[in-house]
Amino acid sequence: MRRSLLFLLFLMPFSVSAVVQEISTPKGIRVWFLQDSRSLIISIKAIFRGRGSVSDSKGKEGCADLYAAMMLISSHEIRNRMEEIGSYLSFSNTDDVFCVCLTYLKEHQIPTLQLARLVLISPTFKQEDLARVQKHRITAEKQENPTILRERAVRRAAYPNHPYARHCIEESLKSLTKQNLVACRRHLTKDCLLVVIVGAVTTEEAAACVDQLFGTLPEKSQVTKIPIISH
């Protein structure tokens, strides 16, 4: 958990004299909060630990990455509306975490949170968008980038029989369906959620923002815990 928190803090600008407060929201979400009264911008970064590519089922490799891409596509119109008021919402995926980033001007907090919550709780995945993203990913796989191939070879040698050694292939990408993406969304739960907020908001406002965005998420998921790597 400490490494995950440091990762989030590294990504966020704040004064070196700032004091990190750890708070718990009314809906039970743990938040690390840095109050910066000088800033007009609020930044919220949330990661779901263990919900990155390592959480992909065997034979469904590439699902978490595809889910992040589809979230960006499905929310395109809403994100355009947010950008008109100076707000920015993004999704990304790594091996170990699924990440949600939200940045906005304090004066536009109410409409921003309303729009962002709409994206988070009811994303739409159109079949034509899914087919386009799958085709793009498959084309990229066929290019056989030497750097990526080398990295995968190292992983297979270093992490045998571990999810780190797996990667998406054409067959796994083709097998992914809308139902797989919906299942991936259900894996984003409170028990693996870490949130950091920086900006000119009070402790009560910070807790309210987090609960508005993530408060309706399920408490726990049935995702199998990733085995710890021993050296």
List, for residues 66-87, the tens digit of each pLDDT value: 999 999 888 888 989 999 999 9
Residue 111 vs residues 50, 83, 105, 152, 194: alpha-carbon distances, Å: 31, 11, 11, 43, 23
Q: CATH says 1-51+76-122+188-217 is which class?
A: alpha beta
Q: In the prediction, which pLDDT does 110 show?
A: 94
State the Cα–Cα distance between residues 31 and 33, nearest whole angstrom: 6
Q: In the prediction, which pLDDT does 196 show?
A: 95
Q: In the prediction, which pLDDT does 15 show?
A: 46
* Sign of the C-alpha dihedral computed for residues 150, 130, 181 and 212 taken in this order: positive
Q: In the prediction, which pLDDT does 14 show?
A: 46
The two three-digit tokens of residue 69, written as one number: 């891409």
State the Cα–Cα distance between residues 68 and 46, nearest whole angstrom: 14
Residue stretches of the chain with pLDDT short of 70: 1-18, 165, 223-231
Domain with CATH 3.30.830.10 in the chain: 1-51+76-122+188-217
Q: In the prediction, which pLDDT does 87 show?
A: 94
Q: In the prediction, which pLDDT does 6 show?
A: 42
Residue 104 vs residues 39, 47, 86, 217, 218: alpha-carbon distances, Å: 11, 18, 6, 22, 26
Q: What is the pTM of this model?
A: 0.80
DSSP structure class, residue 112: H
State the Cα–Cα distance between residues 3 and 61, nearest whole angstrom: 25
The two three-digit tokens of residue 197, written as one number: 């907020």
Spatial contact of 193 and 202, defined as CB atoms under 8 Å apart: no
